[in-house]
């Protein structure tokens, strides 16, 4: 029997053993316990322990047991593949004759799936014969795969014929032990599991309630599982629907919110096709501190044998912004946890919505946003903002600033940069932004930021640190007007002397810098570059 034919085989063989013993000469409970151990060990090719067993056959069959432990092929290097604190089996004598059992109850079921190894035919670690199972026939290590399969099929044949009308498991746990040492196992706490028509050769309806580990939350699911594919466990079919409630995103440092989800799934164990939707009414990025209602629809493919997920498509929306993403969530070599990689596209977005997630101020800016970025979120205990990596480009159209003082300065820049009469009325203007960006270690780099208003443009290269909210940018202010046209009176006359210094290709180019905090930025002339940039321009022309 292959390693992963676990629960159905164990329960089936247990029931088959009790059925066989039911027609035998009456035995004491201790003799019955030893016979069951021997039968299970032989049929499952395993080391078996059973602390207690009580059986009665009249008026109907009822069995109660405790301390059932199954170690497949006697492996001691991993926990037992199956352990059950207590169990009970009920059935009528006529049903038993037909290998049909009415009800099986399992309490404290623990299933621990070890890494699958090629040809796991030899015991691992120091194993001792189980009580009553020392004489149980083991699969010959020298037999070929075909012989082993035929022997396994023969051993488990009785179990495969047994059908259990209802199987109820309470307080169960499913653990997937990782192949690589040092990685944490994947654990699912299954509070309640109900299965109908349980048999190894048929699909089994089920209903289950379980706790998801990360993010923590409650999952209710129902559907069909099986038949179990003995030789290729990953090809075992399954389908169903699910709801996921009260998932606390606060477990991921740097974000918060309570997520709920629902959807459906189908396929085979190693390729589960999932379609679902999520709602997070108050999704919050800590650095920004503003909750927004986040809704997503997604299509994902999950490998149920290792948890790796391919995100075929995610459609997300919050406020007046929508996005489309695709990518994967996979194990990270050499690290604990999984890495999220996404290609994100925002064709219909608002900059004020996005800034709410990352900036504490309320809507510092408005405008239409288009954005494309590569997102990488590695595992780790750091804040999301500190470990998130972004690399992309963006464009903002018709941008406006909500701070009246800032917008007034933009209006003034456009008016003076257009060489309009200084005494004329200042019109409110909108701004256009384009550029590339990269976020690493909580610092947003903008290597090629262009800011345009009528009559003027700003080209900047620098960075913005999200945590301290500090700016460090250097670049050029480019205007249609000459420097002397930006002021009146005697200052205008004096500045005509330096107009040629800043005039390049019919426009005025002034080196500038922006430093300080986001709330109180300091704009100024980058004096160190005034003559330096002019000399560089001359050297270019001479070469």
User: Which residue, among 71, 51, 39, has the nearest Cα to 136 in the 3D structure?
Assistant: 39
DSSP string, 365-417: EEEEEEEEEEEEE--SSS-HHHH-EEEEEEEEEEEEESSHHHHHHHHHHHHHH
The predicted pLDDT at position 374 comes to: 95
Give yes or no for a contact between 430 and 475, defined as CB atoms under 8 angstroms apart.
no
The strand pairing partners of 46, in sequence order, are 72
> What is the spatial distance between Cα 483 and Cα 488, in angstroms, rounded to a whole number?
11
Q: Which of 437, 458, 281 is nearest to 346 (CA)?
A: 437
Would you give the distance in Å from CA 535 to the centre of its chain?
A: 54
Dihedral sign from CA coordinates of 129, 132, 134, 138 = negative
Cα 438 to Cα 441: distance, rounded to the nearest angstrom: 10
Go through 478-496 and write b for each residue having 16 or more CB atoms within 10 A of its CB, e for each that does not.
bbbbbbbbbeeeeeeeebe
Taking the C-alpha atoms of residue 350 and residue 344, their distance in angstroms, rounded to an integer, is 15
Question: What letter does residue 235 receive in the DSSP assignment?
Answer: G
Query: SS3 of 269, please?
Result: coil
* Cis amide leading into 181 (omega within 30): no
Q: What are phi and psi of 445, to 5 degrees?
A: -95, 135
Cα 36 from Cα 353, distance rounded (Å): 65
Instruction: Please tell me whether the overall predicted TM-score, pTM, comes out greater than 0.85 for this model.
Output: no
CB atoms within 10 A of CB 409: 13
Q: What's the alpha-carbon Rg for the chain, to the nearest Å?
A: 35
- Alpha carbon distance, N-terminus to C-terminus of the chain: 80
Q: Which residues contact 375 (CB under 8 A, 6 or more apart)?
A: 325, 327, 340, 341, 342, 343, 344, 388, 389, 390
Looking from the CA of 519 toward its CB, the CA atoms found within 13 Å total 6
Per-residue pLDDT at 353: 92
pLDDT of residue 220: 92
Bridging pattern class, strands 271-285 and 292-302: antiparallel
pLDDT of residue 86: 94
Residue 374 near residue 392, CB atoms below 8 Å: yes
Residue environment code for 279-295, b if the CB has 16+ CB neighbours within 10 A, otherwise e: ebeebbbebbebbbebe
pLDDT by position in tens, the chain (length 543): 333 345 555 666 666 666 555 545 455 668 778 888 887 777 767 888 999 988 887 788 888 999 999 887 777 777 888 899 999 989 887 777 777 788 999 999 998 877 655 433 333 333 333 344 433 333 334 334 444 343 444 444 445 567 788 889 999 988 877 666 666 677 778 889 998 887 657 788 989 998 877 788 889 999 998 887 766 767 888 899 999 988 898 888 888 999 999 999 999 878 899 999 999 999 998 888 899 999 999 999 988 767 788 999 999 999 999 999 999 988 777 677 788 999 999 999 999 999 888 888 777 889 999 999 999 988 887 888 788 899 999 999 998 888 888 888 888 888 888 888 888 888 888 889 999 999 998 899 999 899 899 998 989 999 988 888 888 999 998 988 888 888 888 888 888 888 888 888 888 888 988 888 877 788 778 777 776 655 455 444 444
Beta strands 258-268 and 237-248: pairing type? antiparallel
Q: Which residues pair with 313 in a beta bridge?
A: 299
CA distances (Å), origin 293, targets 91, 284, 318, 356, 426: 52, 9, 6, 12, 38
d(CA 306, CA 186): 9
């Amino acid at each position: 029997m292959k390693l992963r034919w676990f629960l159905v085989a164990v329960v089936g063989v247990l029931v088959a053993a009790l059925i066989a013993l039911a027609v035998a000469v009456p035995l004491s409970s201790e003799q019955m316990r030893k016979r069951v151990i021997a039968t299970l060990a032989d049929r499952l090719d395993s080391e078996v322990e059973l602390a207690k067993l009580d059986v009665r056959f009249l008026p109907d069959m009822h069995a109660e047991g405790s301390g059932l432990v199954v170690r497949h092929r006697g492996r001691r290097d991993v926990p037992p593949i199956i352990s059950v604190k207590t169990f009970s089996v009920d059935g009528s004598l006529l049903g038993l004759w037909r290998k049909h059992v009415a009800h099986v109850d399992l309490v404290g079921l623990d299933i621990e799936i070890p890494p699958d190894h090629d040809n796991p035919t030899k015991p691992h670690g120091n194993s001792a014969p189980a009580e009553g199972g020392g004489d149980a026939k083991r699969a010959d290590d020298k037999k070929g795969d075909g012989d082993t399969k035929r022997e396994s099929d023969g051993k488990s044949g009785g179990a495969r014929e047994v059908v259990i009308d209802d199987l109820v498991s309470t307080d169960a746990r499913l653990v997937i032990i990782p192949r690589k040492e040092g990685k944490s196992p994947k654990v699912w706490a299954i509070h309640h599991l109900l299965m109908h028509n349980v048999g190894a050769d048929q699909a089994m309806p089920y209903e289950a309630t379980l706790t998801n580990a990360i993010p923590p939350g409650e999952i209710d699911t129902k559907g069909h599982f099986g038949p179990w594919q003995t030789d290729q466990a990953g090809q075992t079919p399954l389908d169903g629907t699910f709801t996921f409630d009260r998932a606390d995103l606060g477990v991921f440092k740097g974000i918060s919110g309570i997520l709920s989800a629902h959807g459906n799934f189908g396929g085979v164990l190693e390729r589960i096709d999932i379609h679902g939707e999520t709602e997070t009414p108050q999704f919050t990025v800590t650095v920004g501190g503003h909750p927004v209602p986040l809704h997503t629809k997604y299509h994902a493919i999950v490998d149920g044998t290792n948890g790796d997920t391919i995100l075929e498509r995610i459609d997300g929306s919050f406020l007046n912004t929508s996005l489309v993403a695709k990518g994967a969530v996979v194990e990270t070599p050499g690290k604990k946890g999984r890495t999220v990689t996404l290609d994100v596209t925002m064709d219909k977005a608002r900059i004020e919505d996005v800034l709410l997630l990352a900036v504490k101020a309320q809507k510092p800016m408005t405008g239409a946003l288009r954005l494309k970025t590569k997102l990488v979120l590695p595992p780790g205990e750091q804040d999301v903002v500190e470990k998130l990596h972004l690399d992309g480009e963006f464009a903002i159209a018709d941008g406006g600033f909500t701070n009246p003082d800032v917008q007034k300065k933009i209006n003034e820049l456009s008016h003076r940069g257009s060489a309009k009469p200084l005494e004329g009325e200042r019109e409110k203007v909108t701004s256009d932004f384009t550029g590339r960006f990269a976020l690493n270690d909580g610092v947003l780099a903008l290597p090629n930021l262009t800011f345009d208003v009528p009559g003027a443009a700003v080209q900047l290269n620098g960075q913005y640190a999200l945590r301290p909210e500090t700016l460090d940018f250097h670049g050029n202010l480019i205007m249609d007007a000459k420097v002397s046209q930006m002021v009146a009176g005697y200052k205008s006359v004096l500045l005509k002397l330096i107009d040629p210094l800043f005039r390049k290709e019919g426009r005025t180019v002034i080196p500038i810098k922006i430093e300080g905090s986001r709330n109180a930025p300091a704009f100024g002339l980058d004096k160190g570059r005034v003559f330096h940039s002019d000399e560089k321009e001359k050297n270019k022309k001479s070469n």
